[in-house]
Structure 1
Protein backbone atom coordinates (compact mmCIF):
# COMPACT_ATOMS: atom_id res chain seq x y z
CA UNK A 1 0.00 0.00 0.00
CA UNK A 2 2.86 2.40 0.78
CA UNK A 3 4.20 1.90 -2.75
CA UNK A 4 0.79 2.76 -4.20
CA UNK A 5 0.51 5.81 -1.94
CA UNK A 6 3.91 7.14 -2.95
CA UNK A 7 3.06 6.61 -6.60
CA UNK A 8 -0.34 8.29 -6.24
CA UNK A 9 1.19 11.29 -4.47
CA UNK A 10 3.81 11.66 -7.17
CA UNK A 11 1.32 11.43 -10.04
CA UNK A 12 -1.30 13.67 -8.43
CA UNK A 13 1.25 16.34 -7.58
CA UNK A 14 2.71 16.31 -11.09
CA UNK A 15 -0.77 16.63 -12.55
CA UNK A 16 -1.61 19.38 -10.07
CA UNK A 17 1.31 21.43 -11.40
CA UNK A 18 -0.42 21.41 -14.80
CA UNK A 19 -3.63 22.65 -13.21
CA UNK A 20 -1.80 25.31 -11.20
CA UNK A 21 -0.07 26.70 -14.29
CA UNK A 22 -3.38 26.90 -16.12
CA UNK A 23 -4.99 28.55 -13.10
CA UNK A 24 -2.23 31.17 -12.93
CA UNK A 25 -2.57 31.92 -16.64
CA UNK A 26 -6.35 32.22 -16.49
CA UNK A 27 -8.89 29.94 -18.13
CA UNK A 28 -8.99 30.55 -21.87
CA UNK A 29 -11.95 28.37 -22.83
CA UNK A 30 -14.85 26.85 -20.93
CA UNK A 31 -17.48 24.56 -22.41
CA UNK A 32 -20.48 22.86 -20.88
CA UNK A 33 -21.06 19.14 -20.94
CA UNK A 34 -24.45 17.52 -21.51
CA UNK A 35 -25.20 17.62 -17.78
CA UNK A 36 -24.52 21.36 -17.65
CA UNK A 37 -21.23 21.08 -15.73
CA UNK A 38 -18.21 23.06 -16.85
CA UNK A 39 -15.07 21.58 -18.37
CA UNK A 40 -11.85 23.27 -19.46
CA UNK A 41 -8.78 22.35 -21.46
CA UNK A 42 -6.99 22.03 -18.13
CA UNK A 43 -9.37 19.24 -17.04
CA UNK A 44 -8.45 17.27 -20.13
CA UNK A 45 -4.71 17.95 -19.85
CA UNK A 46 -4.62 16.91 -16.20
CA UNK A 47 -6.57 13.70 -16.78
CA UNK A 48 -4.47 12.80 -19.82
CA UNK A 49 -1.28 13.15 -17.78
CA UNK A 50 -2.63 10.98 -14.96
CA UNK A 51 -3.76 8.33 -17.43
CA UNK A 52 -0.38 8.36 -19.17
CA UNK A 53 1.52 7.91 -15.91
CA UNK A 54 -0.75 5.10 -14.72
CA UNK A 55 -0.46 3.35 -18.09
CA UNK A 56 3.33 3.54 -17.86
CA UNK A 57 3.64 2.43 -14.25
CA UNK A 58 0.58 0.22 -13.66
CA UNK A 59 -0.54 -1.01 -17.09
CA UNK A 60 -2.73 -3.79 -15.68
CA UNK A 61 -4.86 -1.45 -13.53
CA UNK A 62 -8.11 0.04 -14.76
CA UNK A 63 -8.60 3.82 -14.94
CA UNK A 64 -11.91 5.65 -14.84
CA UNK A 65 -11.79 9.42 -15.27
CA UNK A 66 -14.42 12.10 -15.38
CA UNK A 67 -13.54 13.37 -18.85
CA UNK A 68 -12.34 10.34 -20.84
CA UNK A 69 -13.71 6.83 -21.52
CA UNK A 70 -12.90 4.14 -18.98
CA UNK A 71 -9.87 1.94 -19.54
CA UNK A 72 -10.58 -1.51 -18.15
CA UNK A 73 -7.73 -3.37 -16.50
CA UNK A 74 -6.92 -7.00 -15.72
CA UNK A 75 -5.62 -6.61 -12.13
CA UNK A 76 -9.00 -6.11 -10.47
CA UNK A 77 -7.92 -2.65 -9.32
CA UNK A 78 -9.34 0.62 -10.61
CA UNK A 79 -8.14 4.20 -10.28
CA UNK A 80 -10.62 7.07 -10.23
CA UNK A 81 -9.56 10.47 -11.55
CA UNK A 82 -11.30 13.79 -10.93
CA UNK A 83 -8.86 16.03 -12.82
CA UNK A 84 -10.17 19.28 -11.39
CA UNK A 85 -12.61 18.89 -8.53
CA UNK A 86 -14.33 22.23 -8.11
CA UNK A 87 -14.17 23.35 -11.73
CA UNK A 88 -16.42 26.31 -10.96
CA UNK A 89 -13.89 27.53 -8.39
CA UNK A 90 -11.08 26.99 -10.90
CA UNK A 91 -12.92 28.89 -13.63
CA UNK A 92 -13.77 31.83 -11.37
CA UNK A 93 -10.30 32.25 -9.96
CA UNK A 94 -10.85 30.68 -6.55
CA UNK A 95 -7.84 28.58 -5.45
CA UNK A 96 -9.87 25.97 -3.53
CA UNK A 97 -10.10 23.52 -6.47
CA UNK A 98 -8.21 20.22 -6.25
CA UNK A 99 -6.82 17.38 -8.33
CA UNK A 100 -8.19 14.11 -6.93
CA UNK A 101 -6.85 10.60 -7.48
CA UNK A 102 -8.11 7.47 -5.74
CA UNK A 103 -7.36 3.77 -5.86
CA UNK A 104 -10.94 2.61 -5.49
CA UNK A 105 -11.76 1.73 -1.89
CA UNK A 106 -8.10 1.75 -0.83
CA UNK A 107 -6.44 5.16 -0.91
CA UNK A 108 -7.11 8.77 -1.83
CA UNK A 109 -5.03 11.83 -2.65
CA UNK A 110 -6.44 15.35 -3.03
CA UNK A 111 -3.99 18.07 -4.06
CA UNK A 112 -4.85 21.77 -3.86
CA UNK A 113 -1.87 23.16 -5.77
CA UNK A 114 -2.79 26.83 -5.62
CA UNK A 115 -2.93 26.58 -1.82
CA UNK A 116 0.08 24.31 -1.41
CA UNK A 117 -1.98 21.68 0.44
CA UNK A 118 -2.29 17.92 -0.07
CA UNK A 119 -4.59 15.54 1.82
CA UNK A 120 -3.75 11.83 1.59
CA UNK A 121 -5.15 8.70 3.24
CA UNK A 122 -5.02 4.94 2.85
CA UNK A 123 -6.95 2.15 4.52
CA UNK A 124 -5.20 1.35 7.76
CA UNK A 125 -2.68 4.15 7.18
CA UNK A 126 -4.58 7.11 8.61
CA UNK A 127 -5.07 10.52 7.01
CA UNK A 128 -2.41 13.18 6.68
CA UNK A 129 -2.30 16.80 5.55
CA UNK A 130 0.79 18.24 3.90
CA UNK A 131 1.27 22.01 3.89
CA UNK A 132 4.50 22.58 2.02
CA UNK A 133 7.15 20.66 3.99
CA UNK A 134 4.96 20.38 7.09
CA UNK A 135 3.06 17.12 7.64
CA UNK A 136 0.31 16.62 10.21
CA UNK A 137 -1.92 13.74 11.19
CA UNK A 138 -5.52 14.63 10.38
CA UNK A 139 -8.21 13.92 12.96
CA UNK A 140 -11.86 14.91 13.01
CA UNK A 141 -13.37 16.83 15.92
CA UNK A 142 -14.89 15.27 19.03
CA UNK A 143 -17.97 17.53 19.07
CA UNK A 144 -21.01 15.55 20.24
CA UNK A 145 -23.57 18.33 20.68
CA UNK A 146 -25.88 18.67 17.70
CA UNK A 147 -26.86 22.20 18.72
CA UNK A 148 -23.22 23.30 18.55
CA UNK A 149 -22.29 21.32 15.46
CA UNK A 150 -20.59 23.32 12.70
CA UNK A 151 -22.02 22.11 9.40
CA UNK A 152 -21.03 22.91 5.80
CA UNK A 153 -23.78 22.59 3.20
CA UNK A 154 -23.21 22.07 -0.52
CA UNK A 155 -25.43 21.59 -3.55
CA UNK A 156 -28.59 22.93 -5.07
CA UNK A 157 -30.92 21.19 -2.60
CA UNK A 158 -29.54 22.15 0.79
CA UNK A 159 -31.51 20.60 3.67
CA UNK A 160 -33.04 22.67 6.42
CA UNK A 161 -31.48 21.16 9.52
CA UNK A 162 -33.21 23.05 12.32
CA UNK A 163 -30.23 22.38 14.59
CA UNK A 164 -26.53 23.06 14.42
CA UNK A 165 -24.70 26.07 13.00
CA UNK A 166 -24.31 26.37 9.24
CA UNK A 167 -20.86 27.73 8.40
CA UNK A 168 -18.95 28.73 5.28
CA UNK A 169 -18.50 25.72 3.00
CA UNK A 170 -15.10 26.54 1.53
CA UNK A 171 -12.40 23.87 1.95
CA UNK A 172 -14.99 21.78 3.75
CA UNK A 173 -13.30 18.37 3.45
CA UNK A 174 -9.97 19.77 4.66
CA UNK A 175 -11.71 21.47 7.58
CA UNK A 176 -13.66 18.31 8.43
CA UNK A 177 -10.64 16.02 8.58
CA UNK A 178 -8.69 18.54 10.66
CA UNK A 179 -11.52 19.31 13.10
CA UNK A 180 -12.38 22.77 11.80
CA UNK A 181 -15.98 21.75 11.09
CA UNK A 182 -18.01 18.81 12.37
CA UNK A 183 -20.00 17.74 9.31
CA UNK A 184 -20.38 18.27 5.58
CA UNK A 185 -23.65 17.64 3.74
CA UNK A 186 -23.81 17.59 -0.06
CA UNK A 187 -27.25 17.46 -1.61
CA UNK A 188 -28.61 17.88 -5.11
CA UNK A 189 -28.41 16.46 -8.59
CA UNK A 190 -25.00 15.92 -10.09
CA UNK A 191 -23.15 13.98 -7.39
CA UNK A 192 -21.23 11.14 -9.00
CA UNK A 193 -18.53 8.61 -8.20
CA UNK A 194 -15.82 11.12 -8.99
CA UNK A 195 -17.15 13.60 -6.45
CA UNK A 196 -17.13 10.77 -3.89
CA UNK A 197 -13.96 8.96 -4.98
CA UNK A 198 -11.73 10.37 -2.25
CA UNK A 199 -14.25 11.35 0.41
CA UNK A 200 -14.86 8.05 2.29
CA UNK A 201 -11.19 7.13 2.62
CA UNK A 202 -10.09 10.63 3.65
CA UNK A 203 -12.85 11.11 6.23
CA UNK A 204 -12.94 7.59 7.65
CA UNK A 205 -9.16 7.40 8.04
CA UNK A 206 -9.35 10.70 9.96
CA UNK A 207 -11.85 9.06 12.32
CA UNK A 208 -15.13 10.17 10.75
CA UNK A 209 -18.02 8.56 8.91
CA UNK A 210 -19.57 8.92 5.45
CA UNK A 211 -23.06 7.83 4.42
CA UNK A 212 -25.20 8.20 1.31
CA UNK A 213 -28.57 9.20 2.76
CA UNK A 214 -30.88 8.67 -0.19
CA UNK A 215 -30.60 9.93 -3.75
CA UNK A 216 -27.96 12.64 -4.16
CA UNK A 217 -27.50 13.29 -0.44
CA UNK A 218 -24.16 12.52 1.20
CA UNK A 219 -23.33 13.10 4.85
CA UNK A 220 -19.75 13.17 6.10
CA UNK A 221 -19.21 13.81 9.79
CA UNK A 222 -16.87 13.49 12.73
CA UNK A 223 -18.65 10.33 13.93
CA UNK A 224 -20.31 11.24 17.26
CA UNK A 225 -22.83 13.45 15.44
CA UNK A 226 -23.41 11.13 12.53
CA UNK A 227 -26.55 9.26 13.52
CA UNK A 228 -28.28 12.39 14.78
CA UNK A 229 -27.49 14.30 11.60
CA UNK A 230 -28.48 11.32 9.49
CA UNK A 231 -31.89 11.41 11.14
CA UNK A 232 -32.29 15.02 10.00
CA UNK A 233 -31.25 14.54 6.39
CA UNK A 234 -32.37 11.00 5.50
CA UNK A 235 -35.70 10.86 3.72
CA UNK A 236 -38.39 8.42 4.89
CA UNK A 237 -38.31 5.14 3.04
CA UNK A 238 -34.72 5.47 1.85
CA UNK A 239 -32.18 3.00 3.16
CA UNK A 240 -28.85 4.75 3.82
CA UNK A 241 -25.81 3.16 2.22
CA UNK A 242 -22.12 3.68 1.58
CA UNK A 243 -21.21 5.94 -1.35
CA UNK A 244 -20.16 3.92 -4.34
CA UNK A 245 -21.73 0.68 -3.11
Structure 2
Protein backbone atom coordinates (compact mmCIF):
# COMPACT_ATOMS: atom_id res chain seq x y z
CA UNK A 1 0.00 0.00 0.00
CA UNK A 2 2.77 2.45 0.86
CA UNK A 3 4.45 1.85 -2.51
CA UNK A 4 1.19 2.67 -4.29
CA UNK A 5 0.68 5.71 -2.07
CA UNK A 6 4.11 7.12 -2.87
CA UNK A 7 3.43 6.57 -6.57
CA UNK A 8 0.02 8.26 -6.38
CA UNK A 9 1.43 11.23 -4.48
CA UNK A 10 4.22 11.66 -7.00
CA UNK A 11 1.92 11.46 -10.01
CA UNK A 12 -0.78 13.68 -8.52
CA UNK A 13 1.88 16.20 -7.54
CA UNK A 14 3.21 16.45 -11.07
CA UNK A 15 -0.29 16.64 -12.52
CA UNK A 16 -1.25 19.36 -10.07
CA UNK A 17 1.68 21.48 -11.25
CA UNK A 18 0.35 21.29 -14.82
CA UNK A 19 -3.14 22.28 -13.70
CA UNK A 20 -1.83 25.14 -11.58
CA UNK A 21 0.21 26.59 -14.44
CA UNK A 22 -2.90 26.74 -16.61
CA UNK A 23 -4.93 28.16 -13.71
CA UNK A 24 -2.45 30.96 -13.06
CA UNK A 25 -2.17 31.76 -16.76
CA UNK A 26 -5.94 31.87 -17.14
CA UNK A 27 -5.68 29.51 -20.10
CA UNK A 28 -9.08 27.84 -19.89
CA UNK A 29 -10.42 27.43 -23.43
CA UNK A 30 -13.69 26.02 -22.13
CA UNK A 31 -15.91 23.90 -24.35
CA UNK A 32 -19.00 21.87 -23.58
CA UNK A 33 -19.06 18.08 -23.83
CA UNK A 34 -22.06 16.16 -25.13
CA UNK A 35 -23.45 15.86 -21.60
CA UNK A 36 -23.30 19.65 -21.15
CA UNK A 37 -20.40 19.62 -18.69
CA UNK A 38 -17.36 21.82 -19.15
CA UNK A 39 -13.94 20.63 -20.25
CA UNK A 40 -10.72 22.55 -20.81
CA UNK A 41 -7.40 21.77 -22.52
CA UNK A 42 -5.92 21.54 -19.02
CA UNK A 43 -8.26 18.61 -18.22
CA UNK A 44 -6.93 16.72 -21.20
CA UNK A 45 -3.28 17.62 -20.56
CA UNK A 46 -3.48 16.57 -16.92
CA UNK A 47 -5.24 13.29 -17.66
CA UNK A 48 -2.81 12.43 -20.46
CA UNK A 49 0.13 13.04 -18.11
CA UNK A 50 -1.37 10.87 -15.37
CA UNK A 51 -2.10 8.07 -17.84
CA UNK A 52 1.43 8.18 -19.23
CA UNK A 53 3.03 8.08 -15.79
CA UNK A 54 0.79 5.21 -14.68
CA UNK A 55 1.55 3.28 -17.87
CA UNK A 56 5.26 3.65 -17.17
CA UNK A 57 5.03 2.66 -13.49
CA UNK A 58 2.22 0.06 -13.42
CA UNK A 59 1.61 -1.04 -17.04
CA UNK A 60 -0.60 -3.99 -16.07
CA UNK A 61 -3.10 -1.81 -14.18
CA UNK A 62 -6.27 -0.48 -15.78
CA UNK A 63 -6.95 3.26 -15.96
CA UNK A 64 -10.30 5.03 -16.29
CA UNK A 65 -10.46 8.80 -16.62
CA UNK A 66 -13.15 11.38 -17.04
CA UNK A 67 -11.92 12.62 -20.42
CA UNK A 68 -10.37 9.62 -22.24
CA UNK A 69 -11.48 6.05 -23.05
CA UNK A 70 -10.75 3.44 -20.39
CA UNK A 71 -7.63 1.30 -20.67
CA UNK A 72 -8.36 -2.20 -19.42
CA UNK A 73 -5.53 -3.79 -17.46
CA UNK A 74 -4.58 -7.37 -16.67
CA UNK A 75 -3.74 -7.02 -12.97
CA UNK A 76 -7.29 -6.65 -11.69
CA UNK A 77 -6.44 -3.20 -10.35
CA UNK A 78 -8.03 -0.02 -11.70
CA UNK A 79 -6.99 3.61 -11.29
CA UNK A 80 -9.54 6.43 -11.52
CA UNK A 81 -8.52 9.90 -12.71
CA UNK A 82 -10.49 13.12 -12.32
CA UNK A 83 -7.98 15.52 -13.90
CA UNK A 84 -9.64 18.68 -12.65
CA UNK A 85 -12.34 18.08 -10.09
CA UNK A 86 -14.35 21.27 -9.85
CA UNK A 87 -13.91 22.51 -13.41
CA UNK A 88 -16.47 25.28 -12.76
CA UNK A 89 -14.28 26.59 -9.93
CA UNK A 90 -11.18 26.24 -12.10
CA UNK A 91 -12.53 28.32 -15.00
CA UNK A 92 -14.04 30.88 -12.63
CA UNK A 93 -10.64 31.50 -11.06
CA UNK A 94 -11.56 29.98 -7.71
CA UNK A 95 -8.66 28.08 -6.08
CA UNK A 96 -10.75 25.23 -4.69
CA UNK A 97 -10.42 22.83 -7.65
CA UNK A 98 -8.41 19.63 -7.22
CA UNK A 99 -6.59 16.93 -9.16
CA UNK A 100 -7.90 13.55 -8.00
CA UNK A 101 -6.28 10.14 -8.40
CA UNK A 102 -7.55 6.93 -6.80
CA UNK A 103 -6.68 3.26 -6.86
CA UNK A 104 -10.21 1.92 -6.83
CA UNK A 105 -11.46 1.13 -3.31
CA UNK A 106 -7.88 1.20 -1.98
CA UNK A 107 -6.31 4.65 -1.88
CA UNK A 108 -7.06 8.24 -2.78
CA UNK A 109 -5.02 11.39 -3.39
CA UNK A 110 -6.67 14.76 -3.92
CA UNK A 111 -4.26 17.62 -4.62
CA UNK A 112 -5.40 21.25 -4.35
CA UNK A 113 -2.39 23.08 -5.79
CA UNK A 114 -3.76 26.63 -5.52
CA UNK A 115 -4.26 26.09 -1.78
CA UNK A 116 -1.01 24.17 -1.30
CA UNK A 117 -2.90 21.24 0.22
CA UNK A 118 -2.98 17.52 -0.61
CA UNK A 119 -5.32 15.00 1.00
CA UNK A 120 -4.20 11.36 0.92
CA UNK A 121 -5.61 8.15 2.39
CA UNK A 122 -5.24 4.40 2.01
CA UNK A 123 -7.21 1.49 3.38
CA UNK A 124 -5.72 0.53 6.71
CA UNK A 125 -3.09 3.30 6.77
CA UNK A 126 -5.23 6.30 7.68
CA UNK A 127 -5.78 9.71 6.17
CA UNK A 128 -3.28 12.57 6.06
CA UNK A 129 -3.15 16.21 5.04
CA UNK A 130 -0.01 17.66 3.49
CA UNK A 131 0.47 21.42 3.65
CA UNK A 132 3.80 22.05 1.98
CA UNK A 133 6.36 20.20 4.09
CA UNK A 134 3.95 19.79 7.01
CA UNK A 135 2.02 16.54 7.45
CA UNK A 136 -0.91 15.99 9.79
CA UNK A 137 -3.23 13.10 10.56
CA UNK A 138 -6.79 13.84 9.45
CA UNK A 139 -9.63 13.07 11.85
CA UNK A 140 -13.31 13.87 11.67
CA UNK A 141 -15.13 15.69 14.46
CA UNK A 142 -16.58 13.96 17.50
CA UNK A 143 -19.84 15.92 17.62
CA UNK A 144 -22.76 13.69 18.57
CA UNK A 145 -25.76 16.06 18.27
CA UNK A 146 -27.54 17.02 15.07
CA UNK A 147 -28.73 20.28 16.60
CA UNK A 148 -26.06 22.83 15.77
CA UNK A 149 -24.10 20.43 13.58
CA UNK A 150 -22.13 22.13 10.80
CA UNK A 151 -23.19 20.92 7.35
CA UNK A 152 -22.07 21.55 3.77
CA UNK A 153 -24.79 21.19 1.12
CA UNK A 154 -24.27 20.64 -2.62
CA UNK A 155 -26.57 20.18 -5.60
CA UNK A 156 -30.02 21.20 -6.76
CA UNK A 157 -32.00 19.23 -4.17
CA UNK A 158 -30.57 20.61 -0.95
CA UNK A 159 -32.58 19.35 2.04
CA UNK A 160 -33.91 21.76 4.64
CA UNK A 161 -32.03 21.20 7.90
CA UNK A 162 -33.28 23.93 10.20
CA UNK A 163 -31.58 22.46 13.26
CA UNK A 164 -28.15 22.56 11.59
CA UNK A 165 -25.71 25.31 10.68
CA UNK A 166 -25.17 25.34 6.91
CA UNK A 167 -21.67 26.52 6.06
CA UNK A 168 -19.66 27.24 2.91
CA UNK A 169 -18.98 24.05 0.96
CA UNK A 170 -16.08 25.13 -1.26
CA UNK A 171 -13.65 22.85 0.61
CA UNK A 172 -16.22 20.49 2.10
CA UNK A 173 -14.24 17.24 1.98
CA UNK A 174 -11.19 18.89 3.52
CA UNK A 175 -13.37 20.48 6.18
CA UNK A 176 -15.08 17.17 6.99
CA UNK A 177 -11.89 15.13 7.39
CA UNK A 178 -10.28 17.82 9.55
CA UNK A 179 -13.30 18.22 11.85
CA UNK A 180 -14.37 21.71 10.80
CA UNK A 181 -17.73 20.41 9.58
CA UNK A 182 -19.72 17.41 10.72
CA UNK A 183 -21.53 16.36 7.55
CA UNK A 184 -21.58 16.87 3.78
CA UNK A 185 -24.69 16.22 1.70
CA UNK A 186 -24.78 16.22 -2.10
CA UNK A 187 -28.29 15.94 -3.53
CA UNK A 188 -28.92 16.36 -7.24
CA UNK A 189 -25.27 17.26 -7.84
CA UNK A 190 -24.84 14.85 -10.76
CA UNK A 191 -21.87 13.01 -9.24
CA UNK A 192 -20.22 10.24 -11.26
CA UNK A 193 -17.65 7.58 -10.34
CA UNK A 194 -14.79 10.01 -10.90
CA UNK A 195 -16.30 12.65 -8.62
CA UNK A 196 -16.74 9.90 -6.02
CA UNK A 197 -13.43 8.09 -6.52
CA UNK A 198 -11.63 9.65 -3.57
CA UNK A 199 -14.46 10.45 -1.16
CA UNK A 200 -15.09 7.10 0.62
CA UNK A 201 -11.41 6.34 1.26
CA UNK A 202 -10.60 9.85 2.48
CA UNK A 203 -13.62 10.11 4.78
CA UNK A 204 -13.63 6.55 6.13
CA UNK A 205 -9.90 6.52 6.84
CA UNK A 206 -10.38 9.78 8.76
CA UNK A 207 -13.00 8.04 10.91
CA UNK A 208 -16.19 9.02 9.08
CA UNK A 209 -18.82 7.25 7.00
CA UNK A 210 -20.16 7.59 3.46
CA UNK A 211 -23.50 6.35 2.11
CA UNK A 212 -24.97 6.59 -1.35
CA UNK A 213 -28.57 7.20 -0.34
CA UNK A 214 -29.82 7.07 -3.91
CA UNK A 215 -28.30 7.60 -7.34
CA UNK A 216 -27.75 11.33 -6.87
CA UNK A 217 -27.86 11.69 -3.08
CA UNK A 218 -24.64 11.13 -1.15
CA UNK A 219 -24.12 11.54 2.59
CA UNK A 220 -20.72 11.82 4.27
CA UNK A 221 -20.45 12.43 8.00
CA UNK A 222 -18.19 12.15 11.03
CA UNK A 223 -19.68 8.69 11.62
CA UNK A 224 -21.20 9.46 15.01
CA UNK A 225 -23.99 11.47 13.39
CA UNK A 226 -24.38 9.29 10.32
CA UNK A 227 -27.51 7.35 11.24
CA UNK A 228 -29.24 10.51 12.45
CA UNK A 229 -28.55 12.34 9.18
CA UNK A 230 -29.47 9.26 7.17
CA UNK A 231 -32.85 9.20 8.93
CA UNK A 232 -33.41 12.85 8.05
CA UNK A 233 -32.70 12.15 4.37
CA UNK A 234 -34.75 8.95 4.24
CA UNK A 235 -37.69 10.90 5.68
CA UNK A 236 -37.85 12.80 2.39
CA UNK A 237 -40.36 11.24 -0.05
CA UNK A 238 -38.78 9.01 -2.67
CA UNK A 239 -35.44 8.60 -0.90
CA UNK A 240 -34.41 5.17 0.27
CA UNK A 241 -31.17 4.17 2.03
CA UNK A 242 -28.39 2.75 -0.12
CA UNK A 243 -25.21 0.84 0.49
CA UNK A 244 -22.61 2.25 2.90
CA UNK A 245 -19.43 3.26 1.13
CA UNK A 246 -18.76 2.71 -2.55
Class of the TM-score when normalised by the shorter of the 2 chains:
over 0.9
Correspondence list, 1:190-201, <5 A:
190-201=190-201
- Computed over aligned residues only, the root mean square deviation of the Cα atoms, in angstroms, reads 1.1
Give the Å deviation of 1:67: 0.3
Verify the 8 A CA contact 1:116 1:132 in the aligned structure 2: yes
Does 1:214 find its partner at 2:214? yes
Q: In the TM superposition, what whole-angstrom CA distance separates every residue of 1:52-92 from its partner, at most 9, and x where no partner exists?
A: 00011100000000000000000000000000000000000
Moved over 2 A (4+): 234-239
Distance 1:150 1:237 in 2: 22
Q: In the TM superposition, what whole-angstrom CA distance separates every residue of 1:116-148 from its partner, at most 9, and x where no partner exists?
A: 100000000000000001100000000111011
Counterpart in 1 of 2:87? 87
Which blocks of at least 5 consecutive residues in structure 2 are unaligned? none
Counterpart in 1 of 2:60? 60
Give the Å deviation of 1:241: 1.3
Give the Å deviation of 1:237: 6.1
Correspondence list, 1:104-119, <5 A:
104-119=104-119
Verify the 8 A CA contact 2:152 2:166 in the aligned structure 1: yes
Correspondence list, 1:127-142, <5 A:
127-142=127-142
CA distance change for structure 1 residues 189 and 152 in 2, over 3 Å: closer, same or farther?
closer
Segment of structure 1 superposing worse, 61-70 or 231-240: 231-240
Distance 2:109 2:28 in 1: 27
Give the Å deviation of 1:243: 5.0
Give the Å deviation of 1:21: 0.2
Counterpart in 2 of 1:179? 179
Number of equivalent positions: 244
Distance 2:113 2:130 in 1: 11
TM-score of the superposed pair, with normalisation by structure 1: 0.97
| 1:148 match: secondary structure | coil
TM-score of the superposed pair, with normalisation by structure 2: 0.97
